[in-house]
Amino acid sequence: MEAIILTKDQFNELISKINDISEKISASRSAKTETYLNNKQFMEMLDVSLRTAQSWRDEGKITFSQVGNKIYYKLSDVEKFIQDYRNTAFSKK
């Protein structure tokens, strides 16, 4: 077994780099991963027909991804879509 001797400065630099790597790993683990909905889940969530979902895609109202014949929506895009069509309540005077 071979012993390696480090100066105090070298040791502190090594510890600093290890801490940086540890923080990056922790940050990547805690980063939010995007949730995707398939077309069926999207239609059930918004209670719309296949034709309505198709119309919204054709009209560019909702962002989507297509892989082969499968359609996917980011949950954040669906939430934005709903927010974009939100109507504020009327106030009584």
Written as one string, the DSSP assignment of 25-92 is HHHHHHSPPPPEEEHHHHHHHHT--HHHHHHHHHTT-S--EEETTEEEEEHHHHHHHHHHT--PPPPP
Query: Looking at per-residue confidence, does 43 or 30 come out higher?
Result: 43
Q: Cα–Cα distance between 48 and 42 in angstroms, integer?
A: 8
Q: Cα–Cα distance between 36 and 72 in angstroms, integer?
A: 6
Tell how far CA 2 is from the center of its chain. 47
What is the tens place of the pLDDT at every residue in 39-80?
A: 999 999 999 999 999 999 999 999 999 999 999 999 999 999
**Does 25 fall in a domain?**
no
Share of the chain above pLDDT 70, in %: 96
**Does 15 fall in a domain?**
no
Give the pLDDT confidence score for residue 31 in this predicted structure. 63
**Does 10 fall in a domain?**
no
The one-letter code for the residue type at 92 is K
pTM for this entry: 0.61
Query: Looking at per-residue confidence, does 60 or 25 come out higher?
Result: 60
Domain extent, residue 69, equals 36-84
**Does 50 fall in a domain?**
yes
Count structural domains, the chain. 1
Give me the chain's average pLDDT, please: 92
